[in-house]
Amino acid sequence: MSVSYRQPGVVLTDRFFTVPLDHDDPAGETIDLYAREAVASDRADRDLPWLLYLQGGPGFGANRFVGRQAWLGRALEEYRVLLLDQRGTGRSTPANRQTLPLRGGPAAQADHLALFRADSIVRDCEAIRPQVTGGAPWTVLGQSFGGFCATAYLSTHPEGLATALITGGLPSLDAHADDVYRAAYPRIERKVAAHYDRYPMDVERARRIAEHLLTREVTLPNGYRLTVEAFQSLGIVLGAGDGSHRLHHLLEDAFVPTPAGRELSDAFREQVQGLLSYAAHPLYALVHEACYGQGRRPTAWAAERVRAEFERFDAARAVADGAPLLFTGESVHPWTFACDPALRPLRETAELLAARTDWRPLYDPARLAANEVPVAAAVYHDDMYVDTAHSLATARAIRGLRTWVTDEFEHDGVRAGGPRVLDRLLALARDED
């Protein structure tokens, strides 16, 4: 049963759908999807077109907005909005360390998780679209991984789309995960250099923390093992507009004096735990590299293997040489599953996914080259998470796609500058700009 309620200026309705776990077996097992419908209070009785929002990730539920935050207010000026918790996330049927053992052992769990990529998400959207729109095509707004899903949507079910809007999420159509990370590490290094230029005092602060972690075992309140590699992964925040400032504030008071000498403070550990734990979004770690899997070549822990090609990211060497410690970014490693208690029971499952060699193609270059759906994409210059060159190559491969390349925003532009970003994309898609 749908339940409606109000926030300032918005009427919200909880909606639930049932879809096949495996769309190739429509009579088989089903899972539940949750979505939150949003409509402006003064338009609640109108027949409006629909906008489907696909969250970034993978593994995150849709934004829980309060009122008309970020881009939502602009969207509500002309759309009903469906904020979908993609399969396995949010209030949809969960997939985590507590529920996955219901599938069986690691091999069965890996087979299950192989159904949680963009191709299945798109088929979920097409399964629920007739129930939501009555069969009419809808506009999709895809942020980051949501843009990967939108590109897959254009490849497989363009008839379901009135317009596609993509922010920070144009994927390479054919790059292997190795190629993705080989392009990523130099970008990450540039972001770290820019951070140290802004906050030069953080060079010594980060080095002191790294020295501490190289000589001691540190455990966070939830049991997370804070190794130096895990500490480096805090660089993921540098991909957001305010990320450099957040990292600086985290580093500036990391230590406290104790009878045993200087130790990392409880406050520091608590904040780091919140940034590093995958307890709330385990799918991100489990299927992150699988999002790039196409064909028979395994992803095989690409981020870890490629990192070895960039020796400057070796923390022990940087400390020994007196060089600045390099943080890392959006990557998942085998040690992630050893450090995080929310992931430890799933390590063998992750290994099987990394070794998998039967990935389906996610994109159809021929169909994209013949695209007739209006498409606009925001490409953030030197985006830390999605390679700009890869995005622009894909933009050229999709017929009719219009790009807005900007250095005004980082990867989170749709949050930080939501109304302006969405307004610009709509204008581009409508040939008004």
DSSP 39-65: EEGGGTTS---EEEEE-STTT-PPP--
- Is pLDDT at 352 greater than 70 in this prediction? yes
Q: Tell me, what's the pLDDT at 433?
A: 72
Residues in the chain: 433
Q: What are phi and psi of 420, to 5 degrees?
A: -70, -40
The model's pLDDT over 80-91, given as tens digits with 9 standing for 90+, comes to: 999 999 999 999
Q: Tell me, what's the pLDDT at 417?
A: 86
Tell me the percentage of the chain whose pLDDT exceeds 70. Answer: 100
Q: How far apart are CA 5 and CA 395, in angstroms?
A: 40
Q: Domain residue spans in the chain?
A: 3-174+363-429, 177-355
Structural tokens at position 205: 């602060």
167 with 418: CB under 8 angstroms? no
Closest alpha carbon to 419 in 407, 411, 410, 427: 427
Closest alpha carbon to 193 in 183, 180, 203: 203
Q: What are phi and psi of 209, to 5 degrees?
A: -65, -40
The pLDDT confidence band at residue 160, using thresholds 50, 70 and 90, is very high
Burial of 369 (0-12, 13-18, 19+ CB in 10 A): exposed
Q: How far apart are CA 343 and CA 321, in angstroms?
A: 33
The pLDDT confidence band at residue 36, using thresholds 50, 70 and 90, is very high
Q: How far apart are CA 326 and CA 192, in angstroms?
A: 6
Say which residue, 233 or 329, is predicted with more confidence: 233
- Is pLDDT at 338 greater than 80 in this prediction? yes
Q: What's the average model confidence in pLDDT over 228-254?
A: 97
**The CATH number of domain 3-174+363-429, selected from 3.40.50.1820, 3.30.420.40, 3.90.1010.10, 3.40.630.40:** 3.40.50.1820
- Is pLDDT at 99 greater than 90 in this prediction? yes
Q: Tell me, what's the pLDDT at 73?
A: 95
The pLDDT confidence band at residue 418, using thresholds 50, 70 and 90, is confident
The pLDDT confidence band at residue 1, using thresholds 50, 70 and 90, is low
Q: How far apart are CA 223 and CA 341, in angstroms?
A: 6
Total Cβ atoms within 10 A of residue 431:
10
Question: Catalytic site residues?
Answer: 144, 358, 411
The pLDDT confidence band at residue 310, using thresholds 50, 70 and 90, is very high
User: Please, what sign has the CA dihedral across residues 38, 400, 421, 248?
Assistant: positive
Q: How far apart are CA 224 and CA 338, in angstroms?
A: 9
Q: Tell me, what's the pLDDT at 397?
A: 98
The chain-wide mean pLDDT, for the chain, equals 96
- Is pLDDT at 18 greater than 90 in this prediction? yes
Q: Is 308 helix (H, G, I), strand (E, B) or coil?
A: coil
The pLDDT confidence band at residue 149, using thresholds 50, 70 and 90, is very high
Closest alpha carbon to 183 in 332, 389, 410, 333: 389
368 with 173: CB under 8 angstroms? yes
262 with 256: CB under 8 angstroms? yes
Q: Tell me, what's the pLDDT at 183?
A: 97
The model's pLDDT over 255-309, given as tens digits with 9 standing for 90+, comes to: 999 999 999 999 999 999 999 999 999 999 999 999 999 999 999 999 999 999 9
Q: Tell me, what's the pLDDT at 2?
A: 79
Q: How far apart are CA 189 and CA 193, in angstroms?
A: 6
